[in-house]
Structure 1
Amino acid sequence: MLDHEQLEALRYFDTPTVCNAIEFFKLRPRTCGFGLPGMVWRGGDSSKAIVGYAVTARVGAIFPETPEQKELKMQLYANARAVEGPSIICIQDTDPHPIGSFWGEVQASIFRSLGSVGTLTAGGVRDIPASDTLGFAFLSTHVLVSHANIHVEAINCPVQICGLEIRPGDLLHADMHGFTVVPGEIADRLAAACEAAAASEEPVIGPCREAIERGERPTIEDLRAWNAKMGAERQKLNF
Structure 2
Amino acid sequence: MADDLTEQLAALDTCAVSDALDQLGLTGVALGLSCLTGPARAAGRVLTVRLIEAAGAGPSRQHLGTAAVEAAGPGDVIVVDNGGRAGVSGWGGTLALAAVRRGVRAVIVDGACRDVDESRELGLPVFARAAVPLTARGRVAEEDWNVPVRICGVAVTPGDYVIADGSGVVFVPAARAEEVVAAASRIAERERLMADQVRQGVPVSQVMGASYETMLRERS
TM-score range, shorter chain: 0.7 to 0.9
Residue in structure 1 matching 2:46, options 54, 57, 75: 54
Counterparts in 2 of 1:223 and 1:117: CA distance versus 1, 3 Å: same
| 1:215 paired residue number | none
1:126 aligned onto 2:114: yes
Q: Identity rate of aligned residues, in percent?
A: 25
Q: CA deviation at 1:115?
A: 2.8
Once residues 62 and 99 of structure 1 are traced to their aligned partners in structure 2, the CA distance between those partners, rounded to angstroms, is 14
| Deviation for aligned residue 1:6 | 3.6
CA distance 1:60–1:191, shift in 2 (3 Å)? closer
Which residue in 1 is equivalent to 2:167? 177
Which entry has the higher C-alpha Rg, 1 or 2?
1
Q: How many residues align?
A: 218
Q: Secondary structure at the match of 2:51?
A: strand
How many angstroms apart in 2 are the aligned matches of 1:104 and 1:2? 24
The C-alpha deviation readout for 1:122-149, integer Å capped at 9, x for no partner, is 1211221222222211100121112152
Mapped to 1, the partners of 2:205 and 2:99 lie a distance apart of 49
Change in 2 beyond 3 A, CA 1:64/1:73:
farther
Displacement of 1:2 in angstroms is 6.3
Q: CA distance change for structure 1 residues 172 and 73 in 2, over 3 Å: closer, same or farther?
A: closer
Q: Could you say what the CA RMSD is over the residues aligned between the two structures, in angstroms?
A: 3.4
TM-score, normalisation: structure 2 = 0.79
- Tell me the residue number matched to 2:33: 39
Q: 1:174 to 1:77 in 2, by over 3 A?
A: same
Alignment partners' CA distance in 1, 2:54 and 2:64: 17
Compared CA separation, residues 111 and 65, structure 1 to 2 (3 A): farther
Q: Which has the higher strand share?
A: 2
Cα shift readout 1:82-126 (whole Å, capped 9, x = no counterpart): xxx52211112248x543313221011112222321111112112
TM-score by length of 1: 0.73
The answer for unaligned runs of 5 or more in structure 2 is: none
Give 1:156's aligned residue.
146
